[in-house]
Amino acid sequence: MASVTLSNIKKSYGSLGVIHGVSLSIEDGEFIALVGPSGCGKSTLLRMIAGLEEITDGDVSIGGKVVNELTPRERNIAMVFQSYALYPHMTVAENMGFNLRLSGEPKPVIAQRVAEAARMLDLTDLLDRKPAQLSGGQRQRVAMGRAIVRNPAVFLFDEPLSNLDAKLRVQMRSEIKTLHQKVKTTSIYVTHDQIEAMTLADRVVVLNQGRVEQQGTPIELYRKPANLFVAAFIGSPAMNILDGTVEADGGEPAARLGDGTAVRISTDRKVKPGQRIKIGLRPEHLNPGAGGAALAGQTLLVEPTGAQTHVVFDLAGQAVTAVVDGEYPARYGARFQASIAAEQVHVFDRESGIAL
């Protein structure tokens, strides 16, 4: 195992800059997720750590050693890709042990490591099968096993679950987390799926256009997003964002929306009367029939999901989503009314997008 440090990493293709001075410190044994929309630079950053992309400027250190000039093999990393990249003519055991065989490891050592990884990933009964005889989830486990047997200092995952269906993604997500808890190897995981990032990682790094917007534990990013980008990206369904103007409502600060609705905001927010702001309301914090100032409008859509009901209603001319536990008797066109506690209202500067 080893720590990983990125020091002011930059990447340019000619005059086009794609990574703009990213610095990160990843502790030995930590699981980090790099998350962001397509084109934000997360896979490029991972490939630079792996040695598959040349670094324009800055340093990558693994275990305290700068590795900029080292080949991927010399960096002692193992990478799991979106594509399984298994050899179709080889058995599961042969696929898992192939890199060790290339490295000249003795056959007994290869057999032992393959057997250990197979037990860890529940592949023991599949070692004699070919990839064509496996399901998608089993193939991905074989790809992970191929990485495990190398006993690397760092695991790099590049959207490894994107090719799986929804049920298998959930299953494999659990298996990856269980695997990390067993082997405790430093892991860097790239995904565009914020649910994957939040459920898997010790720490989440949100990237946007080649820059780090915010990093922290999943709960820190959820509760205290640093800006509008992070607020809108973290959370499912996404946070509702509305324009408002600060005013005093009974001596307490409030955001006055376009339809005249006043939404109380916490007194510890750094706002002043007349200030133009944006407020963020998480759908799960909107409570129908609860106390507090009412947010009301015509119901536009009702989506029962079983354990919850998603209700979309019109508020100040904008579609706002509320998540209600269990079944809820909302219907299209009816009036929907909810409230939210002042301390759960997120406040952002309208111009800069910075949290206030």
| Model confidence at 175: pLDDT above 80 | yes
Task: Identify the residue whose tokens are 């930590």.
Answer: 30
DSSP run (H or E) holding 60? strand 57-62
Encode pLDDT of 126-142 as tens digits.
999 999 999 888 998 89
Vertex 228 angle, CA 177 and 347, to 5°: 115
The rounded Cα 346 to chain-centroid distance in angstroms is 21
Residues above pLDDT 70, as percent of the chain: 98
Lowest mean pLDDT segment, chosen from 156-160, 286-290, 318-322 = 286-290
Domain map (residue ranges) of the chain: 4-232, 238-349
| Model confidence at 293: pLDDT above 70 | no
| pLDDT at 292 (0 to 100) | 55
Q: How many residues would you count in the chain?
A: 356
DSSP string computed for 257-306: -TTS-EEE--TTS---TT-EEEEEE-GGG-EET-SSS-EEEEEEEEEE-S
| Model confidence at 53: pLDDT above 80 | yes
| pLDDT at 169 (0 to 100) | 85
CA gap 53, 156 in Å, rounded: 14
Quick one: fold of 238-349?
Answer: OB fold (Dihydrolipoamide Acetyltransferase, E2P) (2.40.50)
| pLDDT at 291 (0 to 100) | 55
| Contact in structure between 55 and 11 (CB atoms under 8 Å) | yes
| Contact in structure between 42 and 34 (CB atoms under 8 Å) | yes
| Model confidence at 56: pLDDT above 80 | yes
For residue 321, name the pLDDT band (cuts at 50, 70, 90): very high
Residue among 53, 49, 52 at smallest CA distance from 24: 49
Q: pTM for the whole thing?
A: 0.90
| Model confidence at 42: pLDDT above 80 | yes
* Class of the CATH-defined domain 4-232: alpha beta
| Model confidence at 159: pLDDT above 60 | yes
For residue 290, name the pLDDT band (cuts at 50, 70, 90): low
- Between 321 and 103, the higher pLDDT residue: 321
| Contact in structure between 137 and 101 (CB atoms under 8 Å) | no
| pLDDT at 251 (0 to 100) | 74
The set of residues, in sequence order, having a beta carbon less than 8 Å from that of 102 and lying 6+ positions away, is none
Tokens at residue 211, please? 């820059």
| pLDDT at 206 (0 to 100) | 97
Encode pLDDT of 81-109 as tens digits.
888 889 999 999 999 999 899 888 999 99
Give the start-end residues of each E strand in the chain: 4-13, 16-26, 31-35, 57-62, 65-66, 77-80, 154-158, 186-191, 203-208, 211-216, 240-249, 252-256, 262-264, 276-281, 287-288, 295-304, 308-315, 318-325, 335-339, 346-349
Vertex 284 angle, CA 193 and 170, to 5°: 35
